[in-house]
Amino acid sequence: MRDYGIGGSFILLTSIIGTERGLYPGSAAYGSCLAGVNHLSRALAMELGKYKIRVNAVARGLHKSDAFIKTVSEEKQQKSVKDIVPLQRWLDVKNDLTSMVLYLVSDDSSFTTGIVIFVDGGQSIVRPRMRSYM
């Protein structure tokens, strides 16, 4: 992209665990790594902007396939989602994430760089302590 002068877009995939404290016990190492990815998106945006290269990150919310969510029963998952997610449903990886990534790689987002966009149904607003719900 840089060498050909065509610009472009990098999308880094991360999770709300990299920005929200204490979502569940045992996530310190994983959350710290994702926080590094979030910072990398901002730092690269500063460095690559002069080449018309945009860098953004998409922080996904928790979804039913996450290892922690799968440790509880289906009934508990359905009950908990109403308290954990303001939109009252788990993330649909295929549709929810895909639409955001497509937007970020398109020309419609040509002036968007260096941000972490949350695709989490509002989980990052509520900041639940997962153990208290599950």
The pLDDT, as a whole number, for residue 48 is 97
Query: Which residue in the block uniquely carries the two structure tokens 């549709």?
Result: 95
Nearest Cα to Cα of residue 16 among 34, 43, 41, 42: 34
pLDDT the model gives residue 68: 66
Q: pLDDT tens digits for 90-129?
A: 899 889 999 999 999 999 999 999 999 999 998 888 755 5
* Confidence band, pLDDT 50/70/90 cuts, at residue 13: very high
What's the confidence (pLDDT) of residue 71?
75
What is the Cα–Cα distance from 17 to 21, expressed in whole angstroms?
A: 7
CA-only gyration radius of the chain, Å: 16
Q: What is the pLDDT of residues 16-75, one digit of tens each?
A: 888 876 666 777 888 899 999 999 999 999 999 999 999 999 999 888 777 666 777 878
Q: Which residue has the higher pLDDT, 59 or 5?
A: 59
> What is the number of residues in the chain?
134
pLDDT at 21: 64
Catalytic sites, residue numbers: 30
* Between 3 and 56, residue with greater pLDDT: 56
pLDDT of residue 64: 74
- Residue 91 identity (one-letter amino acid): L
